[in-house]
Amino acid sequence: APPVSAGSCPSELKRCSMAHNCLQCIKYLMFVFNLLFWLGGCGILGVGIWLAVTQGNFATLSSSFPSLSAANLLIVTGTFVMIIGFVGCIGAIKENKCLLLSFFIMLLIIFLLELTVVILFFVYSDKIDKYAQRDLKKGLHLYGTDGNIGLTNAWSIIQTDFRCCGVSNYTDWFEVYNATRVPDSCCLEFSENCGLHSPGTWWKAPCYETVKIWLQENLLAVGIFGLCTAMVQILGLTFAMTMYCQVVKADTYCA
């Protein structure tokens, strides 16, 4: 902050000193917060790159959004978090009003977008359910085809791990093969070409409902994660606006 003029009265000196002390306290708190925020972004980006390199053949199940894989989502999220954390760190350490306001606006936009997505998801959950099932069934026709090894591996892992077959029924595969057949990953006991055997040797549970039930059973963990994410963002918004106000106050009292 600029030095106080020699003619300033004691009360102005005191207010300037208090504003400066508050600013320094918030400054280092916000810097540490954003440093952790930035490191978190580095971690997310690192996991995303690791998934892309080591699990490159595991892609999305959606035929409409082939790039919507876990690796790509983590890479994009990590990059955004790193950028926002970096802006916050520099804004805090330099006490720059423009950067602090930019950090606040970026974080606020992301928070509002997340809130909008959550609200829309609950409002249109039935329509989303129908669209998702329709899109997944469409994706089944790409199973085992050239250039879709990621989708093929994804379906194989889902059906094996969740002990299910097809989207809404194992008969979904009959349309894909134009025969009474399912992939070998649908078999109760895996063996070569076991998908050609009788339906009594296949998993009967629909994958969409099975995964949905699993998510509902783990709703508490998902809710806690969402709540923690929201709290971190609200804390970041609070730090940014508080420090911005303290910088303005320090400039006013110490001018």
pLDDT in tens, 10-21: 666 666 666 667
Q: Is the pLDDT of residue 56 over 60?
A: no
Integer CA distances (angstroms), 142 to 107, 175, 184, 202, 242, in order: 39, 12, 16, 21, 53
Q: 95-116: per-residue pLDDT in tens? A: 898 999 999 999 999 999 999 9
pTM (2 d.p.):
0.74
Q: What is the mean pLDDT of residues 211-239?
A: 89
Q: Identify the CA nearest to 205 among candidates 174, 139, 160.
A: 160
Higher pLDDT, 56 or 174: 174
Average pLDDT of the chain to the nearest whole number = 84
- Higher-confidence residue: 58 or 201? 201
pLDDT score of 2? 46
**Confidence class for position 7, pLDDT limits 50, 70, 90:** very low
Burial of residue 236 (CB within 10 Å: 0-12, 13-18, 19+) is buried
Specify the higher pLDDT residue, 248 or 112.
112
- Residue 5 pLDDT exceeds 50: no
Across 87-101, 146-160, 171-185, 203-217, least confident range? 146-160
The mean pLDDT value for 74-99 works out to 90
Residue 17, amino acid: S
**Residue 9: pLDDT band by 50, 70, 90 thresholds?**
low
- The whole-angstrom separation of Cα 166 and Cα 199 is 13
* pLDDT value, residue 102: 93
More confident residue, 183 or 254: 183
Spell 155-186 as b/e; 16+ CB within 10 A means b.
bbebbbebebbbbeebebbeebbeeebbbbbb
Q: Three-class SS of residue 187?
A: strand
